[in-house]
Amino acid sequence: MAEIAVVYHSEHHGNTKKLLEGIAADYPIDLFDVKDADIGGLSKYRAVGFASGIYMGSFHESLLDYIKREPKLPKQAFLIYTSGSGNEKYGSGFASTLKGSGVKVLGIYNCRGFDTYGPWKLMGGISKGHPSSEDIKNGVKFLRRILPQGK
């Protein structure tokens, strides 16, 4: 078992899952698809991340539902998301919800993710090639900064 868990939702092109699996190759994290995540299963972790694509401006609602039902959240959390636009503000609503539950939000990491939703499909999509290997490296750096290993 790793010290850090990440509960995620990734449905459009698997972008968020690809990013997380790339990060997990260099920084130990246990990954749980929110569909399969046990309620009560996070209490043994030092910190938890919540990760998602952005759908209509928000993290996927299944993650919000999860934190409402999960009574034993670790006291420290972080957020990771991928979005077509790369907008830096998408994490703030989810972060406020976590803070309202008494959880400290250590940081938010985001990168672009290939997006063929709606009109973008006609143009062949936007943010092609993302998450890239650079995006994955930056994700690893982010985790090493907010949660140094062995400390």
Ligand X SMILES: Cc1cc2nc3c(=O)[nH]c(=O)nc-3n(C[C@H](O)[C@H](O)[C@H](O)COP(=O)(O)O)c2cc1C
Footprint on this chain of ligand X (rule: CB under 6 A): 10-17, 53-57, 82-85, 87, 113-115, 117
User: In terms of CB distance, is 70 or 115 closer to ligand X?
Assistant: 115
- List Cα–Cα distances, 84 to 3, 14, 114, 145, in angstroms: 30, 13, 6, 25
Least distance in angstroms from the C-beta of 33 to ligand X: 11
Over its C-alpha atoms, the chain yields an Rg (Å, rounded) of: 15
Least distance in angstroms from the C-beta of 9 to ligand X: 7
User: In terms of CB distance, is 16 or 76 closer to ligand X?
Assistant: 16
Write down the residue that tokens 């309620």 correspond to: 39
User: In terms of CB distance, is 76 or 83 closer to ligand X?
Assistant: 83
Helices (H) then strands (E): counts for the chain: 4, 5
Across 23-125, where does the E strand assignment appear?
30-33, 47-53, 76-83, 104-112
Least distance in angstroms from the C-beta of 15 to ligand X: 3
Least distance in angstroms from the C-beta of 42 to ligand X: 21
